[in-house]
Amino acid sequence: MADTSRAARSESGRIARVLEQDSANLLEAWIAAQSKVLSARGSISANELRSQSREFISLLQKAIASGASSVDGPDWDDVRGFLADLSKSRAIQGFSPRETAMFVFSLKEPLFERLGAAANPDADTRTTDVWNASLILDELGIYTTEVYQKSREQLISRQQQDLLELSTPVVKLWDGILALPMVGTLDSSRTQVAMESLLQRIVETGSDVAILDITGVPTVDTLTAQHLLKTVNAVHLMGAECIISGIRPQIAQTIVHLGVELGDVVTKASLADAFRLALSRTGRTVTRIDAHVNDRA
């Protein structure tokens, strides 16, 4: 047991030695290799790339020199932290997964060349060294990709959240009349957010009528209709009236074909019709002030 660990230590020591002694040449060769992958974009400056690469080599050298065999161990914290930061920043800058992963993988070629060129006694040792170095770099490369993917997912979920909040504005059309123009596909989470903000606004403004405008909803299926009915019911429970407007001819047909039961929900073809109804429900009418305008029209 002790023998193998000492052997591992001496093997990793050889990799560390190569990294330390030949670091300047290695850096140049590595940067050249990276530039080949990155050439298409050029969204990172040469200086930045150089400093990143230099830092990684020195961190890697320290970690390997520590002799820890597992990349998950505490000795590798610095390396993993560095790669995580790099990967996150590249994910945000819009690098492709390939470009991000190649940061680590492109080190293989120059490193293996140097491991081979070093004064090693026999082919077996050389193969072992290359194998060990390859294992380490593979692990780190996969780690980088994982972090990259996670950052992208976080970015996407944040954008989704933003979209949710932005896409459900409750507008006040008149005293006591609110409208909720819905745009995009209605799924349960969006309906939930829309419903919450609408009900909240009804309480704040003491509104009597809420108009649900679905002009911007591309398709209505049974599920969507169910979401709409839920919203209408909730508005009724709050003591306000709910009118659905903006039902396009195709959607009206779909609703009938699907056999969706809208019950006694008031529906109007256009927002204007719904607004007119809402005004009359709150005891108001729209009239022209100027009789001449009326005549000409």
Partner 1 sequence: MERIPILRMGQFLIVSIQVDMHDRLALTLQSDLATRISETGARGVLLDISSLEIVDSFIGRMISNIAGTSRVLDAETVVVGIQPAVAITLVELGLSLPGVRTALNVEKGMAMLRHATGFDGHDAAPGSTPLSESSDDSAAV
240 binds partner 1 (CB under 8 A): yes
CB-based contacts of 55-61 (< 8 A; 24+ apart in sequence): 55/82, 56/82, 56/83, 56/86, 56/103, 56/107, 57/19, 57/23, 57/26, 57/27, 57/30, 58/23, 60/19, 61/16, 61/19, 61/20, 61/23
Q: Whole-angstrom Cα distance, residue 193 to residue 60?
A: 47
Q: Which is nearer to partner 1, 133 or 209 (CB)?
A: 209
Task: Pick one of 286, 291, 293, 297: the residue that binds partner 1 (CB under 8 A).
Answer: 286
Q: Is 273 an interacting residue with respect to partner 1 (CB under 8 A)?
A: no
Contacts (Cβ under 8 Å, ≥6 apart) of 134: 108, 112
Q: State whether residue 215 is helix, strand or coil.
A: strand
**Is 293 near partner 1 (CB under 8 A)?**
no
Q: Is 66 in the site for partner 1 (CB under 8 A)?
A: no
Rounded CA-CA distance 74/95 in Å is 29
**In the block, residue with structure tokens 């290695």:** 26
Annotate each residue in 191-230 with x if it binds partner 1 (CB under 8 A) or - if it does not, as one string.
-x--xx--xx-xx--xxxx--------------------x
Contacts of residue 285, defined as CB under 8 A and 6 or more positions apart, other chains included, come to 279
Q: Indicate which single residue of 77, 165, 175, 221 sits in contact with partner 1 (rule: CB under 8 A).
A: 175
165 belongs to the binding site for partner 1 (CB under 8 A): no
**CB 213, min distance to partner 1, A:** 19
Question: Count residues contacting partner 1 (CB under 8 A)?
Answer: 33
- Measured between alpha carbons, how far is 52 from 31 in angstroms, rounded to an integer? 10
According to the binding rule CB under 8 A, does residue 2 interact with partner 1?
A: no
Piece of 24-32, 118-126, 164-172, 239-247 that binds partner 1 (CB under 8 A): 239-247
Minimal distance, residue 202 CB to partner 1, in Å: 7
Residues of this chain that bind partner 1 (CB under 8 A): 174-175, 192, 195-196, 199-200, 202-203, 206-209, 230, 233-241, 279-287, 289
